[in-house]
């Protein structure tokens, strides 16, 4: 062997490679990356919720507050339903559904309630925990 090549890190090969083996391993790496990129592109062309195929004009990116993950896209219907759900979660009490005013109360983690509470519901939950 005139030249010795270090194998790629994720190949699991110890030692050095000859030129022919190095070229083969490099080709494998490039093909794997291209397949992964193609798979990710195909996933981006589908709605992240309903898995409906999307055209370029139908794609909507979710807002970062919705915690959907990077690269997610939504169809128009799913985007609207997610927006309405988020607005409800932020602007209405999670228990009594009363519109929240300026003062909002976050539930304690042990209550396992998603959303925010009005003062009355927060006080009721807090008293129930103290009684039990």
* Joined tokens for residue 104: 């909002």
102-112 pLDDT, tens digit per residue, is 888 888 888 88
- What CA–CA distance (Å, rounded) separates 83 from 61? 11
pTM score of the predicted model: 0.53
- What CA–CA distance (Å, rounded) separates 28 from 17? 14
User: How many domains, in total, are found in the chain?
Assistant: 3
Cβ neighbours for 120, distance < 8 A, ≥ 6 positions apart = 96
20-53 pLDDT, tens digit per residue, is 888 888 888 888 888 888 777 665 677 777 877 7
Q: What is the predicted pLDDT for the residue at 46?
A: 78
Same domain, 63 and 85: yes
Q: How many other CB atoms sit within 10 Å of the CB of residue 78? A: 18
Domain range for 129 is 94-132
Same domain, 1 and 30: yes
In the chain the beta strands, taken as DSSP E runs, fall at none
Provide the 8-state DSSP code for 79. Answer: H
Q: What is the predicted pLDDT for the residue at 41?
A: 67
Same domain, 101 and 130: yes
Cβ neighbours for 95, distance < 8 A, ≥ 6 positions apart = 113, 117, 118, 121, 124, 125
Q: Which of 92, 115, 124, 87 is nearest to 106 (CA)?
A: 115
Give the residues across from 53 on adjacent strands: 46
Q: What is the predicted pLDDT for the residue at 67?
A: 77
């Amino acid at each position: 062997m005139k030249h010795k090549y270090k194998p790629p890190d994720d190949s699991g090969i110890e030692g050095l490679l000859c030129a022919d083996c190095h070229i083969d391993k490099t080709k494998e790496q490039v093909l794997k990356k291209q397949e992964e990129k193609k798979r990710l592109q195909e996933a981006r062309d589908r709605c992240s919720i309903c898995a409906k195929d999307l055209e370029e004009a139908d794609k909507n990116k979710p807002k970062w507050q919705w915690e959907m993950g990077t690269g997610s896209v939504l169809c128009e219907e799913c985007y609207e339903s997610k927006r309405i759900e988020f607005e409800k979660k932020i602007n209405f009490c999670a228990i009594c559904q009363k519109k929240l005013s300026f003062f909002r109360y976050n539930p304690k983690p042990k209550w396992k309630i998603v959303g925010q509470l009005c003062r009355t519901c927060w006080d009721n939950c807090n008293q129930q925990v103290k009684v039990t």
